[in-house]
A and B are shown apart, each in its own frame.
Chain A
Amino acid sequence: MQPSSAHLLEVEDLHVSYGRIRAVQGVSLAVPEAAVVALIGANGAGKSTLLRAISGIVRPRRGTVRFRGENLVGLPVHQIARRRVIHVPEGRGMLARMTVLENLRIGGFARRDGTDTATELERVFRLFPVLRERRDQPAGSLSGGEQQMLAIGRAMMAGPRLLMLDEPSLGLAPLVVREIFRIIPRLTAEGTAVLLVEQNARMALQCAAHAHVLQTGQVVLSGRAADLLAAPEVQRAYLGVTETS
């Protein structure tokens, strides 16, 4: 397969193991510039592991992760973050005892281009007004939805080229989930590509351009998100649609 230069991220034949457990087995996928790509699949399908391998937290056994043509495999986590590949992990990774404002400021650490932090901060506060209200509270005191907003806001402070969101809807009320998903088109409009891992397949497929279905560490189905949304096997397995006989 000849990699196309239009793609921001190209994962090729990636294998990741935890001891003897093969979590990811030969996954290939691509994320174009400023696009949303969704990864859906059941618990334990290897979605989170894939993100962890891209951001350098776990080291793949085999395969490459090309970002703007450069292989990221083997780079330390902080070096990958400085290339503005930003991972918002499941569980959000709050610095619970530091304030909301400090969490946001630390998000700008990956950024070394002298962009004005105040402007970035203003942008985050405009998107999530609740964070402005709570700026001096410890992050640990926020509600789950507010923490997810802070996690995304912190990632935005880095000016991400690729934003990887792991289960942003987990444990949140439907209204809050909608508010968080509302942000994603705005991010892509500003040139950020999003790789989205979700169990809420419907939400994910509605906002993504392309999607991949993972099952036991392998991509079993790929395509345009709209097509997957309509595919009977996806509807049956992930969207809870029962067949009418």
Chain B
Amino acid sequence: MPDLAYLVFLVADGALAGSIYALVALAFVVVYKASRMINFAVGEWTMLGARTAAAASHTIGLGPGGAVAVGCAGVVALALLFNRIVLRPLSRSSLLSLIMLTLGVGIFMRGAATVVFAGVPARIASPFPLDPLVVAGVPLSVDKIVAAVIATACIAALSWFFRGSRTGLALRAVASDQQVALAVGIDLHRHFAITWALVGVLSVLAGTLWSFVSGGGFGIELLGFKVFPIVILGGLDSLAGTIVGAFAVGILESLVAGYVDPIVGGGFSHVASYLVLIATLFVRPFGLFGRPDVERV
């Protein structure tokens, strides 16, 4: 492959992965914005989303669309239950203990998933052709393109939801100041529940799309680790920054995997995004799009 085409291929491939990272990162950021909680289990939720959709596909024999729908119903129900039974009673405890709790929940979910889904294949058959599409000499896999289109559509829908809808406006008010949100008549618990329902939907979508492109459920929870460089780079409280950060990290990983990994012997692409994380913390600790908390009082 000529040099330029190789570069284009790496960038395109990275952007395609980035669109799925964006969904996972958004699932993380909506929770952070609503309650300042760092959800370390975001990768496990994504894994759960993928496994539930896969189970719906294999045990009921649904097609991809049906599997995602059933998966969403199941995981949203679980997320709501988690919010109601675990988080709500703990709403007065310290943020730190909630964060620790998410670590424990993540480990529990991994263990439980291997028991619950024992014998059920994690793989979801990709409904898309396997032969890559060649655009101007650059080979692009069809399933990745379709995944990216779906992911981008979800991101656009979510952006509209937060900007234009009444509920989205209320969620942003909750994110901005809970006391004020209460004072204008917003029911916080109801909106925390909406947030967790969003986490459920995003987890299933991201998990299923990732299964399509990566070919299996193994190690999907590691997607959670991609989230931290993304949200630190983008600014923890910025949805736009999260999306930009996701694409940036996807492309960076792809470029490093293409150019640096052959030299150092592989694996460096996973480190690269963390180097960016550290560099961001040095230069702009509030991220590219986050704002330092300076305001007129």
Contacting pair B183 A81 (CB below 8 A) = yes
- Smallest CB gap from A87: residue in B: B183
When distances are taken between beta carbons in the complex, the residues of chain B under 8 Å from A57 are: 179, 182-183
User: Are the CB atoms of B185 and A110 closer together than 8 Å?
Assistant: yes
Interface residue? A182 (CB, 8 A): no
B177 near A93 (CB under 8 angstroms)?
yes
Contact B296 A141 (CB under 8 A): yes
Name the interface residues of B237-258: CB closer than 8 Å to any CB of A: none
Contact A98 B184 (CB under 8 A): no
Tell me which residues across on chain A come within 8 A of B179, comparing CB atoms: 57, 89, 93
Q: Is A154 an interface residue (CB 8 A)?
A: yes
A98 adjacent to B173 (CB under 8 Å): yes
Asked if A45 is an interface residue, CB under 8 A from chain B, the answer is no
Considering only residues 75-110 of chain A, those with a C-beta below 8 Å from chain B are 76-78, 81-82, 86-87, 89, 91, 93-98, 102, 105-107, 109-110
B180 → chain A closest CB, angstroms: 5
Contact pick for B169, options A93, A106, A154, A158, CB 8 Å = A106
The size class of the interface chain B forms with chain A is: 20 to 34
How far does the Cβ of A152 sit from chain B's closest Cβ, in whole Å?
A: 13
Q: Mark A140-172, 1 if CB is under 8 A from B, else 0.
A: 111010010000001000100000000000000
Q: Which residues of A contact B176 (CB under 8 A)?
A: 95-98
Contact of A55 among B166, B183, B297 (CB under 8 A): B183
Known: A97-B176, A97-B291, A140-B295. A82 touches B183 (CB 8 A): no
Decide yes or no whether B186 CB sits under 8 A from chain A.
Answer: yes
A81 touches B297 (CB 8 A): no
Total A-B residue pairs with C-beta atoms closer than 8 Å? 71
Q: Are A78 and B296 in contact (CB under 8 A)?
A: no
B295 touches A96 (CB 8 A): yes
Chain B min CB distance to A214 (Å): 22
User: Given the known A-B contacts A98-B172, A98-B176, are A109 and B296 also in contact in the complex, defined by CB atoms under 8 Å?
Assistant: no
Contact A106 B184 (CB under 8 A): yes
Q: Smallest CB-CB separation from A94: which chain B residue?
A: B180
Shortest C-beta distance, A59 to chain B (Å), equals 14
In angstroms, how far is the closest chain B Cβ from the Cβ of A220?
29
For B295, the chain A residues whose CB sits under 8 A away are 96-97, 140
Provide the bound-state CA to CA distance between A110 and B173, in Å.
13
A78 CB → nearest B CB, Å: 5
CB distance from B149 to the nearest CB of A (A): 30
Task: Give CA–CA (A76, B126) in the complex, Å.
Answer: 49
Interface string of B177-210 (1 = CB under 8 A from A): 1011111111110000000000000000000000
- Is B154 at the interface (CB under 8 A from chain A)? no
If A96-B295, A97-B291 touch, whether A106 touches B183 (CB-CB below 8 Å) is no
Chain A residues near B272 (CB, 8 Å)?
Answer: none
Q: How many angstroms from the CA of A61 to the CA of B27 in the assembled complex?
A: 41
When chains A and B are docked, how far (Å) is the Cα of A144 from the Cα of B295? 12
Q: State A141–B294 Cα separation when bound (angstroms).
A: 11
Q: Quick one: given A95-B177, A95-B180, are A78 and B187 in contact (CB under 8 Å)? A: yes
Complex partner residue of A78 from B185, B291, B297, CB under 8 angstroms: B185
A82 to B, closest residue via Cβ:
B185
Smallest Cβ-Cβ distance to B170: which chain A residue:
A109
- A151 to chain B minimum Cβ distance, whole angstroms, is 10
Within the assembled complex, what's the spacing in Å between the Cα atoms of A147 and B297? 10
Which chain A residues numbered 42 to 88 have a C-beta less than 8 Å away from chain B?
55, 57, 76-78, 81-82, 86-87
How far is A154 from B90 in the complex, measured between Cα atoms in Å? 32
CB distance from A221 to the nearest CB of B (A): 30
Bound-state Cα–Cα, A77 to B291, Å = 29
Instruction: Give the shortest distance, in Å, between B137 (CB) and chain A (any CB).
Output: 45
> What are 15 A-B pairs at a CB distance below 8 A?
A57-B182, A78-B181, A78-B187, A82-B185, A95-B180, A97-B291, A97-B295, A98-B176, A105-B169, A106-B169, A107-B184, A109-B170, A110-B184, A110-B185, A141-B296
The 10 closest A-B pairs by CB, nearest first: A110-B185, A81-B185, A77-B182, A140-B295, A95-B176, A93-B180, A82-B185, A96-B295, A109-B184, A106-B173
Binding site for A on B (CB under 8 A): 166, 169-170, 172-173, 176-177, 179-188, 291, 295-297
Q: Other than the known A76-B187, A140-B295, A154-B184, what 5 A-B pairs have Cβ atoms closer than 8 Å? A: A57-B183, A81-B185, A96-B295, A106-B184, A109-B166
